[in-house]
Structure 1
Amino acid sequence: MKLLIIPVVAGLTCIGAALYLFLRLRAAKISSPKMSEIGSYIAIGVRAYLSRQLRAILLVTPVVAIVLGFTLNIWIAVTFVLGVFTSLITAYMGMSASTRANVKTAADATRSVNTAFHTAVFGGSIMGFSITGFSLVVLSVLYLLFKDPNPLVGFGFGASLAALFAQIGGGIYTKAADIGADLVGKVEANIPEDDPRNPAVVADLVGDNVGDCAGRGADLFQTFSDDIVTGMVVALTLVPKYGGAVLFFPMLLQSAGLAASMLGVLSIRLFDRSKPETAFYWGMAVTTVFAVLGSFLVSHFLVHDMALFIGTCLGVATTLVSSIITRYYAGSSGKPVHDIAEASKRGVALNVITGLSAGLQSPLGSIVMIVIAVAAAYFISGGSLLAIVAVNIGTDLLIGYIMTADAFGPIIDNASGIAEMSGAHEQIVHSLSQLDSVGNTMKATTKAYAMSSGTVTSFVLFSTYFSIVGLKTMNVMEPYSIAFILLGICLPYLISSLTIGSAAKTAMLMVDEVRRQFRTIPGILKGEAMPDYATCIDISTRNALKEMILPGVISIAVPIFVGLVFGHWALGALLIGAVLSSALLGPFFNNTGTAFDNAKKLIEDSGRKGSFEHQAAVAADTVGDPLKDVAGPALLIFMKLVGMAALLIAGIKPLF
């Protein structure tokens, strides 16, 4: 139990760092009253959305908790509730910091772009440090109370459920506002992206925070937490081989990753003379070196098995390879994005076709690397499941740093919008826009990392579930097995259809509202009358919260129903199909949508705003928006949620 001191100290250090940076941000003075005013509109919209989201989740959480309490036990229900609320609290803390950092970043850009860059980085690190710190501390305390990792499965399930609602709801919100603002403002009215005359522009800026900050924070919180929980459940079965200390292997590895992430974020200041994107990658290199060193110490001194160290290194390599592949397919410097921009000269159809072609190819490299990493770790360790856990935790070791880079994106995006709406000098807006392209690539990198981690986690979930229920083989000669595998393959397509369709329905309402205001409120386009921002914010809020319910219910109900009614083998087959399908669809959505976005920015940065090719790129970008910010992230959470649901009911005897 003394070993628990290390993760508790690591977690509290991260929380302390996040709190210190937040207080500094809160105390900072904003020199521009206009920027402060616009920032307050965004903050009010964010709080309004999150309060409604909290009420919606509060309606679902007690019902699920009661069911878990009666069917399993009261402690699973308690940890489930803790998982939900810890996830929401950490996401809220990070998002609150982001809404303050965006105004400060915009104000700092009037003095120095470099200063603005560092403000956005440290603003994003508050999210990165808080989600990892709170997860480690709460899980350590829970294990100290129960002295058994199995009740912690409820915590992981709660974190996954909260993430699903936060990511789907936030994604629908932000993409509906973004699409409505672009189609009517940029295409029809031919006004700039963040022009204050556009009624949907504040809703769009609010959406960056609730979707890309709060939603993504909840997403990575569940990734981090689920991997610790599943790792400890597996480690429990290996206590006879490694001794009781092996139970703390996942937590101590994650603690090493947290320390490395903090050093990596701090090291970014050492690369001031580099381009922002280069500085991020140097910081990632620093994080990687210290993470590998920490994993060596844990593997050597805790479990005395260097095969686990190799597994951890393979997990880190998987993260880095996925990042490089994503940078090629979705980054503004990659050939696919330049091809999409070039195709835009011939119209929107060829833009979309070119993007889809590259996007369908993009998951291949990451999948191959995942297969190599898992197979190699399993072979080198002599068939140890703990080596797969090591690969899985290895994909998490950079999570604090990667979340920092991810939150940097929406902060810069908001800062750019605030600068433009406040009438800042064109050069300042242009500089922030260039940083926004870096933020887009960082966000895509985060999604690639999270999807790779989720896929490796699924190997662990498969093995853990099959081990608990006693399934050693699956007979694919029986049509029933194939039937449930096919059903599992279909589920991610259904979830994707529902989430993309929800974004489209909400966006249509947004388009109608922006057109109505342009038509019925004289003087908006001349800058003589104020748009009605509140109505647009309300449209996104109401519909996002309504539309997130059905995908969430399906993600929980279907695996539980299949497991209880048809048996463990049927649920095992369903899991295989669902994960395999999600592992390919998710990266396709993420990379394709980001490539469309960066192709549009490439055209804008070359000074061709308003041209035929720019209009084609804007239209294609609106197609990609719900792919990269709604469907793709939702599938990652879906993968883990169905796995955690399976673990929850693994001990329950099927009805038939």
Structure 2
Amino acid sequence: MQQLLTDHGVVVSILFGALSLAAAAVLIRSVLSADNGNSKMVEIAKAVQDGASAYLHRQVVAVALISVLVFAGIWLLRDTATALGFVVGAVCSLAAGYIGMTIAVRANVRTAQAASKSAHTALQVAFNGGAVTGLLVVGLGLISVGGFYLIVLKTSENPKVAIDSLVGLALGSSLISVFARLGGGIYTKAADVGADLVGKIEQQLDEDDPRNPATIADNVGDNVGDCAGMAADVFETYAVSLIGGVLVGFLTAAGYEQALTYPFVICGIAIIGALLGIGFVNFTKLDATRSLVGGVIISGVVTALLLFPVTRAMFPEAMIINGKTVGSNQLFLCLLVGIVMTYASVWITNYFTSTFHKPVRKIAKASETGHATNIIAGISTGHHATLVPVLCIVASIWICYSQADLYGIAIAVVSMLSLSGIIISLDAFGPITDNAGGIAVMSGLDPKVREITDGLDAVGNTMKAVTKGYAIASAGLAAMVLFGSYVEELKAHLGGIYVFDLMNHKVMIGLFVGGLLPFSFTAYAMDAVGNAAGAVVNEVRRQIDKFPGILKGTETPDYGQCVDIVTKAALKQMVLPALLPVIFVVAMAFLGPEALGGVLVGTIVTGLFVGISMTSAGGAWDNAKKYIEDGNHGGKGSLAHAASVTGDTVGDPYKDTAGPAVNPMIKVVNILAILIIPIIFEASKH
């Protein structure tokens, strides 16, 4: 067993990746075979599909132009293998988002039709649509990373060249993820905010009222932001964490071949856990929250049980890593820390964003006294939400480092991200149920159908917040691994110990500049949403003023105009913030490796707090509005409701644009720094 997994562990993981893609194909067939409703429902769903596809095609063209320049730079300054890795990472990141979104925009109408039968049937269709994305992410991640690694290793016969090429793959997936997250986030929240400000506040229209000209754009946005964007985001986190584990194994555990294959084996075995978790959701008839959370628990427990004997088999003898004796027990403890961190991030985020807990109800209560108190309560909730996750991350780093040095932290991160198959299924479930509700309203289905989809949508909102919390918490740990890899790479180039001295002015400059980056990045992202939303507001007002029959139901709004506005705005305004991390890293590289190391640490620390606080506050604001709309604190039409709509519109770019995009931004900074280390030292020779 040991020899098999050590020599062929990468191949075994690729086979598990293929199993994941096969399971995704089965789910795709299951979703598409479901009833898609009447002709009116099909017509509305097709408008959403066309809008989403048009946006993604234009985004791919825009991103491709930038990617060609980055590819050329890597090819000229590094090597061909690393440049090709960049292309593989970029293509797979785009593919995961595109295919997942394509299924999601077909699952929404089928979920609406299923809701006319029962809540559980609707849950199954929506979750299976989301599970396609989850299984695609892990399947493509394993096949692309493992396959590319083996190909380069075979052609170069040099492990160092193969591992360096994976850094290019990591950069490709991360850079594309930033664009996908930002572009999709700007699109979805510009449409959402614009639709809410005019529709709900000015015209007192319900959610997804067909008289609102921004309704279709809003529904399109859910898919390009929360399906395509999130899929690209977690694909890059998954791939980068796997690559980070392999890189750290190579740098710190040289001579122990199983240290390189173990991260692949963890991710491969975890696919079995994900499939059983998906089965649990499908075959149990619990309420939505218990069913979805139960799937996560099953997935994690099964993964841990399967990996215990595998770990013992792969490490029958202890390794020596930086003077520490590391055996199978130490590594399995680090693996358990990663799984527990997943559970912790799910529980913590659920507490701060669910309608069943105090934080959301506190915001709803504060809404009774007006808009300002709603905003104050939401910001306060976001700040409070940083405490426990950061303490958990600190504890995880402490435990894993004490057990297995930097490699232990890397294993915890890989373990945490190995559960992506089930976690991403929860995230994509959210926009599918949201769209299903919109289709139900616009096609005039029985109000009871909307009640079912609203219930699932409230759960979906919490699940979306949970996955964002999971992604950001894992990014904090992954960034620590990448920073450690940066230091180890410096040691390798210097041929000895390298220490960052806080009394060194270059390190302090780097810390300040790195700490600044997440704030500048999120500021530009928020500006982009505000500008695009303003354009949508003006267009909706223009149509309502010019065509009075829209509100009377005698004229049909021009939905396409709002779709076109947010498409152009998202593509135009995503470029600058997406390139900020590249600009900062390249500029600071000229001050030397000390300053660049400071940038990495500063970005990790402030980025973690900004990301957690923004996503938690946004999710809490959103569900506080839904809690009031359920009849609490005066219900719809009350002062509290008006205040909660304001809070929700402020929270939209927090939770779906700026906050989540910090996650891939942090990793772009770290990966790019690792990539340019040889370039810095080569330049210093001349």
Query: Smaller-chain TM-score range?
Result: over 0.9
Q: Which residue of 2 aligns with 1:366?
A: 389
Deviation readout 1:351-384 (Å, 9 max, x if unpaired): 1111111211111101101111111111123xx2
Deviation readout 1:115-138 (Å, 9 max, x if unpaired): 011100111000000111011112
Q: Which residue of 1 aligns with 2:472?
A: 451
- Give me the whole-angstrom Cα distance separating, in 2, the residues matched to 1:24 and 1:112: 17
TM-superposed CA distance for 1:642, in Å, is 0.6
**Is 2:593 aligned against 1:568?**
yes
Q: Which residue of 2 aligns with 1:327?
A: 350
SS in 2 for 1:237: helix
Match of 2:483 among 450, 462, 470: 462
TM-superposed CA distance for 1:240, in Å, is 4.0
User: Any unmatched runs of 5+ in structure 1?
Assistant: none
Match of 1:375 among 398, 401, 409: 398
- Give me the whole-angstrom Cα distance separating, in 2, the residues matched to 1:158 and 1:173: 22
- Give me the whole-angstrom Cα distance separating, in 1, the residues matched to 2:509 and 2:434: 45
Deviation readout 1:315-351 (Å, 9 max, x if unpaired): 1111211211111111111101001101111111111
Aligned-partner residue type, residue 331 of structure 1: S
Q: Which residue of 2 aligns with 1:291?
A: 303
Mapping of 1:165-180 within 5 angstroms? 165-180=179-194
- Give me the whole-angstrom Cα distance separating, in 2, the residues matched to 1:358 and 1:99: 33
Match of 1:392 among 386, 399, 413: 413
TM-superposed CA distance for 1:291, in Å, is 1.5
Q: Which residue of 1 aligns with 2:636?
A: 609
SS in 2 for 1:409: helix
**Percent identity between the aligned chains?**
37
TM-superposed CA distance for 1:25, in Å, is 2.5
SS in 2 for 1:650: helix
Match of 1:61 among 48, 52, 67: 67
SS in 2 for 1:652: helix
- Give me the whole-angstrom Cα distance separating, in 1, the residues matched to 2:507 and 2:251: 28
Q: Which residue of 2 aligns with 1:411?
A: 432
Match of 2:260 among 247, 254, 257: 247
**Is 2:163 aligned against 1:149?**
yes
Contact 2:248 2:485 in 1 (8 A): yes
* Cα RMSD for the two superposed structures: 1.2
**Is 2:544 aligned against 1:522?**
no
Q: Which residue of 2 aligns with 1:72?
A: 78
Contact 1:249 1:298 in 2 (8 A): no
TM-superposed CA distance for 1:239, in Å, is 4.7
Mapping of 1:484-495 within 5 angstroms? 484-495=510-521
Contact 1:322 1:365 in 2 (8 A): no
Aligned-partner residue type, residue 440 of structure 1: N
TM-superposed CA distance for 1:23, in Å, is 2.6
Deviation readout 1:557-597 (Å, 9 max, x if unpaired): 2112212x111111101100011000111000000000000
Aligned-partner residue type, residue 223 of structure 1: T
- Give me the whole-angstrom Cα distance separating, in 2, the residues matched to 1:53 and 1:522: 35
- Give me the whole-angstrom Cα distance separating, in 2, the residues matched to 1:599 and 1:245: 49
**Is 2:248 aligned against 1:222?**
no
- Give me the whole-angstrom Cα distance separating, in 2, the residues matched to 1:579 and 1:420: 43
Q: Does the C-alpha gap of structure 1 residues 103 and 594 become closer, same or farther in structure 2, counting only changes over 3 Å?
A: same
- Give me the whole-angstrom Cα distance separating, in 2, the residues matched to 1:328 and 1:45: 35
TM-superposed CA distance for 1:397, in Å, is 2.5
Aligned-partner residue type, residue 97 of structure 1: I
Mapping of 1:414-425 within 5 angstroms? 414-425=435-446
Match of 2:36 among 13, 17, 30: 30
Q: Aligned residues, how many?
A: 651
Aligned-partner residue type, residue 424 of structure 1: L
Deviation readout 1:602-643 (Å, 9 max, x if unpaired): 011127112211111001100000000011111011111111
- Give me the whole-angstrom Cα distance separating, in 2, the residues matched to 1:81 and 1:320: 34
- Give me the whole-angstrom Cα distance separating, in 2, the residues matched to 1:451 and 1:6: 29
Deviation readout 1:518-552 (Å, 9 max, x if unpaired): 00013000000000000000001000010010011
Q: Which residue of 1 aligns with 2:89?
A: 83
- Give me the whole-angstrom Cα distance separating, in 2, the residues matched to 1:466 and 1:157: 18
- Give me the whole-angstrom Cα distance separating, in 2, the residues matched to 1:14 and 1:149: 24
- Give me the whole-angstrom Cα distance separating, in 2, the residues matched to 1:347 and 1:126: 42
TM-superposed CA distance for 1:432, in Å, is 0.8
Contact 2:267 2:414 in 1 (8 A): yes
TM-superposed CA distance for 1:192, in Å, is 0.6
TM-superposed CA distance for 1:282, in Å, is 1.3
TM-superposed CA distance for 1:435, in Å, is 0.9
TM-superposed CA distance for 1:267, in Å, is 0.9
Q: Which residue of 2 aligns with 1:476?
A: 502
Q: Which residue of 1 aligns with 2:204?
A: 190
- Give me the whole-angstrom Cα distance separating, in 1, the residues matched to 2:258 and 2:42: 52
**Is 2:125 aligned against 1:128?**
no
TM-superposed CA distance for 1:388, in Å, is 1.1
Mapping of 1:532-571 within 5 angstroms? 532-563=558-589, 565-571=590-596
Q: Which residue of 2 aligns with 1:10?
A: 16
Deviation readout 1:57-101 (Å, 9 max, x if unpaired): 111111110010000011111110111111111211100000010
Q: Which residue of 1 aligns with 2:660?
A: 633
**Is 2:467 aligned against 1:442?**
no
- Give me the whole-angstrom Cα distance separating, in 1, the residues matched to 2:550 and 2:670: 51
Aligned-partner residue type, residue 213 of structure 2: P
SS in 2 for 1:653: helix
TM-superposed CA distance for 1:270, in Å, is 3.7
Q: Which residue of 1 aligns with 2:613?
A: 588
- Give me the whole-angstrom Cα distance separating, in 1, the residues matched to 2:385 and 2:25: 38
Contact 2:35 2:113 in 1 (8 A): no
SS in 2 for 1:525: helix
Contact 1:238 1:246 in 2 (8 A): no
TM-superposed CA distance for 1:479, in Å, is 2.8
Q: Which residue of 1 aligns with 2:291?
A: 279
Aligned-partner residue type, residue 265 of structure 1: I
SS in 2 for 1:191: coil
Q: Which residue of 1 aligns with 2:275?
A: 262
Q: Which residue of 1 aligns with 2:4?
A: none
TM-superposed CA distance for 1:2, in Å, is 2.3
Farther off after superposition, 349-358 or 177-186 = 349-358
- Give me the whole-angstrom Cα distance separating, in 2, the residues matched to 1:152 and 1:172: 30
Aligned-partner residue type, residue 293 of structure 1: L
Aligned-partner residue type, residue 595 of structure 2: A
Match of 1:48 among 54, 64, 68: 54
Contact 2:20 2:271 in 1 (8 A): yes
- Give me the whole-angstrom Cα distance separating, in 2, the residues matched to 1:376 and 1:598: 35
Deviation readout 1:292-319 (Å, 9 max, x if unpaired): 1233233211134221110011111112
Contact 2:506 2:591 in 1 (8 A): no
TM-superposed CA distance for 1:4, in Å, is 2.3
- Give me the whole-angstrom Cα distance separating, in 2, the residues matched to 1:326 and 1:249: 30
- Give me the whole-angstrom Cα distance separating, in 2, the residues matched to 1:653 and 1:288: 42
Contact 2:35 2:114 in 1 (8 A): no
TM-superposed CA distance for 1:237, in Å, is 2.7
Contact 2:93 2:232 in 1 (8 A): yes
Deviation readout 1:442-483 (Å, 9 max, x if unpaired): 011101111111000111111110111126321112333212
Q: Which residue of 2 aligns with 1:106?
A: 112
- Give me the whole-angstrom Cα distance separating, in 2, the residues matched to 1:540 and 1:645: 31
TM-superposed CA distance for 1:238, in Å, is 4.3
- Give me the whole-angstrom Cα distance separating, in 2, the residues matched to 1:249 and 1:238: 14
Aligned-partner residue type, residue 269 of structure 2: A
**Is 2:315 aligned against 1:303?**
yes
SS in 2 for 1:524: helix
Contact 1:129 1:400 in 2 (8 A): yes
**Is 2:366 aligned against 1:343?**
yes
- Give me the whole-angstrom Cα distance separating, in 1, the residues matched to 2:397 and 2:307: 17
Aligned-partner residue type, residue 171 of structure 1: G
